[in-house]
Chains A and B, each alone.
Chain A
Amino acid sequence: MKNFNWSKYSKPIILVVFVIVLSILRPKAFLSLDNFSNVLWSVAVIGIMVSGSIFVFLIGGIDLSIATLCAFSAVVVVSVTHMLGDTPVAVIVGVLCALAVGALAGAIHGIIITTFKIPAFLVTFASQSIFLGLAMVFTNNKIVSCTVPAFTAIGAFKILGFPLPVYFMVIIALLSWYILRKTVYGRYVYAVGGNPTASEISGINVKLASIICYVLSGLTTAMGGIVLASMTQQASSGTGSGYTNDVITAAVIGGVSLLGGEGTVPGAIFGAVLMGLLNNGLNLMSVPSTHAGLVKGLVIVVAVAFDAMQHADQSRKKVKKIKKASA
């Protein structure tokens, strides 16, 4: 077993261990069919969002406005549907409006960040406040509910026992995996994240590539907002609070480097599944949500420190090999 590559299989092993631990601790509650779809819902929302946000992380950016943009788009879809008379057509228009809001927000982020060369962290921090304000303006700071069947179906409708959001997640994840792996644009994204100056010199339109990344992130965030609103049948300025951290954590656990240039969609989806299981497990163990941060925080630190240590190990081994060869 000397040559067993731990880093290659560490992710599936962690998942299996996690599932086994949970099934031993809470056999009845965890292994039920109801709970299974609970986990899937939770995973789906994070998975949808991280499939788009990964583009931003890959170019070395960050999006701190995920939670409030999610709230704003949830509010938009519910308000527009309500304004147009709660018909199925109104739902479609509402969904399109929310997606447009997400894309537009992403485009504005991207344009400001690339044109003025401002850290993404600052711009999205400021816009977080703006989206929160806009969500409050639209709802008059109340909770707006929407129980139109056509709308609630988005979150609740099941095909072959799986809720619709799971299919959305799979489709979006596959799409973003395809874009990143099989298209020229995907190569550009990794190149820009690895070294923006070198990419610029080698003829990549870094600005455009980056803006598209932010647009994609905005789009998936809006989708997450729509799904969340549909699942809970309501929207408010508090919809999706906490998701900024969950999405970033999912990406980081999945091996996406926030410094850019490193990470894959399957990794990020693994992170989303782990986050979903973690949220669910903490819930089943009746850990109050206020205490859950302790566990989540420790998970991040351990995961990232482990990753960093492995990297250091590998580079040390490489240096040793080179030294040996030269000797």
Chain B
Amino acid sequence: MKRMNQTTMRRLVSIGMLLILVVLFTILAGSGKGKFFNFDNLIEVVRDASIPAIIGVGVTFIIITSGIDLSTGSMMALVGMTMANIYAYTLLPFRVMIPIGILVGLLCGLINGIIVAKFNVPEFIGTLATMSIFRALTYIIAIRDDNGVIMSQPMKHTQYAWLGGGIGKFYYVIMAMIIIVVTGQIVLKYTRYGTNLYSVGASKKAATLSGINVAKTRIIAYVITGFTVAVGAVFTTARLQSATTAVGVDFEFNPIAAAVVGGVALSGGSGDVIGTLIGALFMATLENGVRKLSINTAYQYVIKGAIIIAVVIFDATYKARMDRKAREEGAKEGLE
């Protein structure tokens, strides 16, 4: 038997974890109408997974360079609110608003990238700061009623509503996810930029010495994340038919958790977009399944946290074992 590649093994393990979770919830929460395991609900899970997966593509790029982005949730709210505001004032058609939203996302990403790569602010702190800056800006630009209370901005536009739906159960957001994930995977594996990302993540010094423009590579990764966040925001506002200041609160950890569950190492230099997609599906299944257990929300938080810790522990021990095995085999080969 040919020895299996470690990456393939890791992929099989994450798919296995996803399947185990599905089986677990099917047993605990039941199958059939209104329960966990039925076609409608599973499509709903995929739909829930699509926005973390779309944004996860950009976040994966950043994590591969050993960076992180904590501002995605706030950025999503800012993009949505900007679009809703422009819509409220101008009533422009949505084909004009979407490019504007994308532009805002790109700009936010660029700001993150410059702070991190040009001013050498550690990624964690820099994006933690922009997380509160983007959120505050969302509140500042939000339209208020006469009493100063923030209104949720309606975006009732027939064309926009169309975007929130799909062809039957095959939602457009799922199609967008498939397109972006596939494109992301191709960029990562078959372009020079993708290779550069891995080199930067493995060693910034080595990358610089071999002629890679490290700052530019990192900034582009943040700009790409800005783009994916904007796409996520467009679909979120389309689905909600409105923009609120509460969009994306605590969201920023979802794409990161998806990436980590999917085998992207936070230390950088490894992982890919398909892994993040599987991770996003895992997290969405967990979220949905726990909700379908119909228990107190308080326990839902506890169970969610416990399962994430369990998965991360499993992943760490698995990886340590694989590394040891590889080392032993290497030693054996060396002896022969």
Contacts and interface: CB of A to CB of B under 8 A. Distances in A.
The DSSP consensus for interface residues of chain A is helix
Interface string B92-136: 000000000000000000000001000111101110111111011
Interface string B294-329: 001111111111101100110011001000000000
B298 A136 contact: yes
A8 to B, nearest CB: 21
B129 A298 contact: yes
B312 A118 contact: yes
B296 A137 contact: yes
B121 A117 contact: no
A304 B267 CA distance: 22
Contact of A118 (B119, B130, B296, B316): B316
Nearest to B119: A305
Nearest to A301: B129
B298 A133 contact: yes
B312 A123 contact: yes
A292 B139 CA distance: 10
Contacts of B132: 245, 293-294, 296-297
A9 interface: no
Contact of B308 (A129, A245, A292): A129
Interface string A294-327: 1111101100110011001000000000000000
The DSSP consensus for interface residues of chain B is helix
A258 interface: yes
Contact of B300 (A133, A134, A297): A133
A118 to B, nearest CB: 5
Interface residues of B, number: 43
Nearest to B314: A116
Contacts of B22: none
Given A123-B312, A133-B298, A296-B132, A290 B125 contact: no
B77 to A, nearest CB: 11
A248 B127 CA distance: 13
- Most central of A122, A288, A300, A305 by chain B CB within 10 Å: A122
B260 interface: yes
B125 A252 contact: yes
Given A118-B316, A245-B128, A134 B302 contact: yes
A128 interface: yes
Nearest to B120: A308
B197 interface: no
A119 interface: yes
Nearest to B71: A297
Given A123-B312, A126-B312, A136-B297, 16 more contacts: A116-B316, A116-B317, A117-B320, A118-B316, A128-B305, A129-B301, A133-B297, A136-B296, A288-B139, A290-B139, A291-B140, A293-B133, A301-B121, A301-B130, A304-B121, A312-B120
Interface of B: 115, 119-122, 124-126, 128-133, 135-137, 139-140, 245, 253, 257, 260, 266-267, 296-306, 308-309, 312-313, 316-317, 320
15 contacts: A62-B124, A112-B313, A116-B312, A121-B266, A125-B257, A126-B305, A126-B308, A134-B298, A258-B124, A290-B245, A296-B129, A301-B115, A301-B121, A301-B126, A305-B121
